[in-house]
């Protein structure tokens, strides 16, 4: 009998371990770095570069009173409109867990070709 747990080498499913994504061209224009992921439990953003980066959800869902419908509003951040963004300083690590299934975008304070490492976990 083979016994293995979620994330172990004998486990194969959408919940197996972390997935690392590498980006090397983050510029001052927001770009999508993660699409919606219904099974996502944790996201970690790491800035291995020398420029400050910003990450933000693609859609902001405002608080809505019970019994009314919620409409997602696109978040269009920029260097002059940073509301809704999280700052990621050089060498910084930022982790979200729980309700982090929405898509995410990233952009840099300056220059182009900035690196960003993203790790997603479904467990």
Report d(CA 115, CA 113) in Å as an integer.
7
User: What digits encode the pLDDT tens for the residues 40-54?
Assistant: 999 999 999 999 999
Domain that holds residue 50: 18-60+73-121
Question: Is residue 31 in some structural domain?
Answer: yes
Report d(CA 56, CA 59) in Å as an integer.
9
Report d(CA 25, CA 32) in Å as an integer.
12
pLDDT value at position 29? 96
Question: Is residue 52 in some structural domain?
Answer: yes
Q: Between 5 and 33, whose confidence is greater?
A: 33
CATH code for the domain in which residue 43 is found: 2.60.120.770
Percent of the chain with pLDDT over 70: 76
Question: Is residue 10 in some structural domain?
Answer: no
Question: Is residue 79 in some structural domain?
Answer: yes
Nearest to 79 by CA among 87, 67, 91: 87
Mean of the pLDDT values across residues 20-38? 96
Query: For 16, phi and psi rounded to 5 degrees?
Result: -80, 110
Report the number of distinct structural domains present in the chain. Answer: 1
């Amino acid at each position: 009998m083979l016994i293995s747990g979620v994330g172990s080498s004998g486990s194969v499913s959408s919940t197996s371990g972390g997935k690392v994504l590498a980006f090397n061209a983050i510029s001052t224009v927001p770009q999508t770095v993660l699409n919606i992921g219904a099974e996502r439990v944790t996201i970690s953003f790491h800035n291995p570069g020398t420029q400050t980066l910003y990450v933000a959800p693609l859609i902001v869902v405002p608080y809505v009173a019970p019994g009314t419908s919620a409409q997602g509003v696109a978040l269009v951040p920029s260097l002059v409109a940073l509301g809704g963004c999280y700052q990621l300083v050089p060498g910084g690590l930022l982790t979200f867990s729980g309700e982090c299934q929405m898509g995410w975008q990233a952009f840099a304070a300056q220059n182009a070709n900035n690196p960003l490492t993203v790790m997603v976990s479904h467990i």
